Amino acid sequence: MRLDTAIETGMGMTDDAWLRHANPWSVWTRLMSVPAFALAVWSREWIGWWCVVPIGLVVGFLWLNTRIFPPATDANKWETRAIMGERLWLKRKEAPLPAHHARATSWIVAGSSIGVLPLIAGLYWLDVWATVLGIVMIVGGQLWFLDRLAWLHADSAAHTGQG
């Protein structure tokens, strides 16, 4: 099983959960979970092993995030189109993506994933600059990825006559 499929399954992503995740509030608060997680890990410097509490809160929020917001109501919002594009991207083995989207998403994911290295190093050694670099690379990559997924959704909707 691919990692992205395992995550989707583990998160219990039903059709209703996807509609709730497509709510712009869900999208933006999930993006902010990266710096929140980094801060929670960094808090070990101030509160020691009690840092597991804020770490657990961030992880718990990630699971709750797709359930606490109402379903998206405006399919034209960028965030909603991006999440609908994410569903298409996750099904890329069953319904292959157009080559230009497949190639671009692969490069964006690879580039963003590299940001995990400075983030881990920064959090391990409590290095502000490495931590910030990792956060910027990950969140910047996620934003670029979401923009590409919104484009994928628009192309798909135009191709199927739904947009």
pTM: 0.89
What sign results for the dihedral spanned by CA atoms 116, 121, 122, 124? positive
User: Which pLDDT tens digit goes with each residue over 135-156?
Assistant: 999 999 999 999 999 999 999 9
Contact 112, 140 (CB under 8 A): yes
Q: What would the two tokens of residue 96 be? A: 């292959």
Percent of the chain scoring above 70 in pLDDT: 90
% helix / strand / coil in the chain, to the nearest 5? 80, 0, 20
Q: Where are the alpha helices (DSSP H) in 43-114?
A: 44-47, 52-68, 78-90, 99-114
Is the pLDDT at 4 greater than 80? The verdict is no
User: Which pLDDT tens digit goes with each residue over 88-98?
Assistant: 999 999 999 99
Q: Which amino acid is at 87?
A: R
